[in-house]
Amino acid sequence: NTVTDTVNVGYTPFGIAVSPDGKKAYVTNADSSTVSVIDTATNTVTATVPVGQWPLGVAVSPDGKKVYVANEGSNIISVIDTATNTVIATVEVGDQPFGVSVTPDGTKIYVANHHSTTVSVIAAATNTVTATVNVGNSPAAFGQFIGLIPLSPFANFSAAPTEGKAPLTVKFTDKSIRSPTKWKWD
């Protein structure tokens, strides 16, 4: 728990995200309107990418090929290609985008729009907003999805008929989900 190095980046560093392989870190520099790309092996800035105004939140796609930057001052998301360190798309979102996250499968990006009290949902394949969800005041989420959480099988069934005189023949239908491998009915 000690500082091992200090890396000089742009003015007012705000958000940081690390690539899935841990080899690169991406830092938003709010006053510089840039993103610093850091090589984590050498702790040096290898590129400075111009983005929109006042970049805050940042997230890396699960495959490490794209970086998404929430630019609060210009109401856009910048999409950076990590192979070329260039902005390959911009997506207009709500007022003052603050935080951004990518789903574990990389298909959707969620953007917390601080001033418009909404969350924009972006399709990663097309870089288009597919939904805008009204949420509480001033959303400012940071972080990223950490992966799929394996869910255990869930037992469920239906029965018909559910009442009648004895002797009663009842048909049970298995409606269990998440691929159970064995059942014990009682």
Q: Which two tokens stand for residue 123?
A: 């399709």
CB 93 within 8 A of CB 117: no
Task: Give this prediction's pTM.
Answer: 0.77
Please give the torsion angle defined by the CA atoms of residues 45, 48, 52 and 56, in that order, rounded to the nearest 10 degrees: 0
> What is the Cα–Cα distance from 136 to 38, expressed in whole angstroms?
35
Residues in the chain: 186
Supply the DSSP symbol for 151: P
Higher model confidence: residue 52 or residue 174? 52
pLDDT at residue 146 in the model: 47
CA count, 13 A, side-chain hemisphere, 76: 14
Lowest mean pLDDT of 1-5, 47-51, 74-78, 177-181, name the range. Answer: 177-181
